[in-house]
Amino acid sequence: MTEALIGYIETMAAYAPVWGFALIVLFMTIESSFIPFPSEVVMIPAGFLAARGELSFGSPMLDASVAVLAGTVGSLAGAYVNYYLALWLGQPFLVKYGKFFFLPPKNLERAEELFREYGAGATFVCRLLPAIRQLISIPAGLAKMPLGPFTLWTGLGAGIWVIVLTATGYYFGATTSDMGYPELVHSASEAIRENYVYIIPVLLVGFVAYVLVSKAVMKTKSDASSKPASPA
């Protein structure tokens, strides 16, 4: 499947100067929803094309920055799809019919387990983990997680992942003279896997930040509720 997708992306690269950013938003929305679609085949070529000045603006750094923004927006849009589908359909429907939407019960159960164990922080951490990153929005919707924190933590996690992919593609675009799309995606993906250990500190820092922010918010609410009402 990945090979076929790489072929489609390679064909569409001819339209990158005009439609590149719109295509990034579209494909990352699909990738972040329940439809299996690897983000590597989108953001790595985007970084590659940006480095070579082959996107809309012809400026490597500007194109890369806008590509990251487009990829993050698309990721959020796809996450909202999962969030609202879970919110509207509910767990019984997803358990019964999820397999028809590329969501087998074991994957749904795993996502719910992670959300129960780590709370809203899982929406950040899991955006950087393979296989589970798209699904973590579903238990957030089932739990009716407030939209503000959901957007914040999902956007942060998705943004970091998009930056990693785009930066890797940008590096290959800037340092190689001739590389086809299949070789690019596979080489860049392998480089990311080999250096994945460096993402772990980001996960830890982000999760600690979530815990500290949550405690601060809870303390503020507690202090507000404990204040005596002012006399009329």
pLDDT at 21 over 80: yes
Average pLDDT score, the chain: 84
Among 60, 39, 19, smallest CA distance to 165 is for: 39
Under 8 Å between Cβ of 70 and 16: no
Under 8 Å between Cβ of 141 and 84: yes
Burial of 152 by CB count in 10 Å (0-12 exposed, 13-18 middle, 19+ buried)? middle
Q: What is the pLDDT of residue 226?
A: 59
Query: Which residues lie below 8 Å from residue 139, measured CB to CB, with a gap of 6+?
Result: 86, 108, 111, 112, 114, 115, 116, 122
Q: What is the pLDDT of residue 214?
A: 66
pLDDT: which is higher, 15 or 148: 148
pLDDT: which is higher, 213 or 156: 156
**Could you report the per-residue pLDDT of 56-74, keeping only the tens digit for each?**
898 999 999 999 999 999 9
What's the rounded Cα separation, in Å, for the pair 193 and 13?
25
Q: What is the pLDDT of residue 221?
A: 58
What's the rounded Cα separation, in Å, for the pair 168 and 174?
10
Residue 93, token pair as written in the block: 């429907």
Under 8 Å between Cβ of 36 and 84: no
**Residue 209, CA atoms < 13 Å, CB-side half-sphere:** 13
Under 8 Å between Cβ of 134 and 107: no
Question: What size, in residues, is the chain?
Answer: 232
Reported in sequence order, the residue ranges of the chain that DSSP labels E, i.e. its strands, are none
Largest CA distance in the chain: 77
| Helix extents (H) in 98-146 | 105-118, 122-125, 137-142
What's the rounded Cα separation, in Å, for the pair 51 and 166?
10
pLDDT at 199 over 60: yes
| Selection from 10-24, 35-49, 98-112 with the highest mean pLDDT | 35-49
Q: What is the pLDDT of residue 65?
A: 96
Among 5, 11, 13, smallest CA distance to 49 is for: 13
Residue 159, token pair as written in the block: 């943004």
Under 8 Å between Cβ of 123 and 66: no
Q: What is the pLDDT of residue 222?
A: 60
Residue 85, token pair as written in the block: 């589908």
